[in-house]
Amino acid sequence: MLRGWSLREEGAKGVAIATLSTLVVLALLVVAATRSPYWPQVKESFFSREVFAESFPNILSVFVRNIAYFLAAEPVILAFALLLAVLRSLRGPAFFPLRLMATIYVDVFRGIPTVLVVYTLGFGLPALQIPGLPVAGWFWGLIGLILSYSAYVAEVYRAGIESVHPSQSAAARALGLGRWATLRYVVIPQAVRRVVPPLMNDFISLQKDTALIAFVSGFNPEVFLQAQIESAATFNFTPLLGAALCFLVITIPMTRFTDWLLERQRRRRQTGTVA
C-alpha cells in the first residue's frame, strides 16, 4: 500500500534502522529550530497553545461548510465533465459544433486560474441583482469551482475514453448496438474504471480548493475565512494552522487511498488482469 516508504519487505532490522534514523533526523531538526534566536517568536505566532484552544472549535464548526461545498460540487462535476468528455470524443462532421464548443470550454476553463473564476462569479453575479438568481457569494463561488474543475475532470475522462481500444467499439457495433449504446455500455464503464485514481487526485484538489470560497463567502465564512478572522482578532497565525489541520485530516487519508488504488491497478496490469 504505502509504496515508496513501506518497510514491509525490509524485516525487523530494517524497521529498527529506519526508526532510529528518523528519530535522529527529527531530533536534529527540532534542536536546530528551537535553538534559533527567533524560535520564541515563531512559537508564539504559529504554535500558540492558548490561541489554538480558543480558536479551533470555531474553525472546526465552519469546516462542515467546506465539506458540504465539496459534497455538493463533486457529483455535479462528475456528471458535467462526463458530458463534456463524451461531446469531445464524438466523431463525424455532424458533431463538429458540439465538439468545438466542448473543446473551447475545456481550453478556456483550464486556462484560467480557479481563484479568478471563483472571485469573478462570487462578486460579479450577486452584484447584478438578477431576479430569481441566488445572491449569496458562496453559491456563485461554488459554481465557479464546478465550472473550473469540470474542465480538468473532462480531460481525465477523455483520456480514459481514448484508452479503450477501438476494437471494443467495433465489437459492440458489430453486435448491432448503436453509437450511444456502445458508449454507455461498453466504452464509458471501462473508461471510468481506468481513471478512478486520477479522478481521486482531482477530488483531493477540490477538497482543498473549497478554501477559495473564502474570498466570496461574506457572512457565511468557511474554514479559511474563519481562520483569518480568528487570526486578525488575536494577532496570531495559529488559527491558520488549525485550518490546515482540518484539511489534512481529510486529504491525507484520501491520498493514501488513491495510492492504494493505483498500486492495485498496477498489480492487476502486471498479472494481466484487465482493470
Partner 1 sequence: MTEAIRIEGLHKRFGDVEVLRGIDLTVEEHRVVCLIGASGSGKSTLLRCINLLEPVDAGSIRIHGRDITERGVDRDLVRRQVGIVFQAFNLFPHMTALRNVTLAPRKVLRLSRAEADERAHELLGRFGLDEKAGEYPDRLSGGQQQRLAIIRALAMEPSIMLLDEITSALDPELVAEVLDVLRGLASAGMTMVIATHEMGFARDVAHHVCFLDAGRILEQGTPEQIFSAPREERTRRFLDRIIAAGRM
Interface with partner 1, residue 223, by CB under 8 A = no
* 3 closest CA partner among 252, 262, 268, 194: 262
C-beta neighbour count of 8 within 10 angstroms: 10
* 86 closest CA partner among 145, 160, 168, 143: 160
The residue among 180 and 219 lying less far from partner 1, judged by its C-beta, is 180
DSSP state of 186: I
The residue among 15 and 181 lying less far from partner 1, judged by its C-beta, is 181
Using CB under 8 A as the binding rule, the residues of this chain from 244 to 273 that contact partner 1 are: 272-273
**Binding mask 63-102 vs partner 1 (x if CB under 8 A, - otherwise)?**
----------------------------------------
Interface with partner 1, residue 40, by CB under 8 A = no
User: Measured between alpha carbons, how far is 101 from 95 in angstroms, rounded to an integer?
Assistant: 10
DSSP state of 94: G
Burial of 54 (0-12, 13-18, 19+ CB in 10 A): middle
Instruction: Fill in the amino acid letter for 5.
Output: W
User: Measured between alpha carbons, how far is 51 from 80 in angstroms, rounded to an integer?
Assistant: 42
**Binding mask 139-178 vs partner 1 (x if CB under 8 A, - otherwise)?**
----------------------------xx-xxxxxxxxx
DSSP state of 212: G
Using CB under 8 A as the binding rule, the residues of this chain from 181 to 200 that contact partner 1 are: 181, 185-186, 189-190, 193
Cell 471494443 found at: 168
Q: What is the dihedral of CA 158, 164, 170, 171, to 10 degrees?
A: -130
Smallest distance, Å, CB 134 to partner 1?
Answer: 40
Smallest distance, Å, CB 203 to partner 1?
Answer: 22
Interface with partner 1, residue 274, by CB under 8 A = yes
The residue among 32 and 171 lying less far from partner 1, judged by its C-beta, is 171
Smallest distance, Å, CB 202 to partner 1?
Answer: 22
Smallest distance, Å, CB 172 to partner 1?
Answer: 8
Is 236 within 8 Å of 45 (Cβ atoms)?
A: yes
Interface with partner 1 (CB under 8 A) = 167-168, 170-178, 181, 185-186, 189-190, 193, 272-274
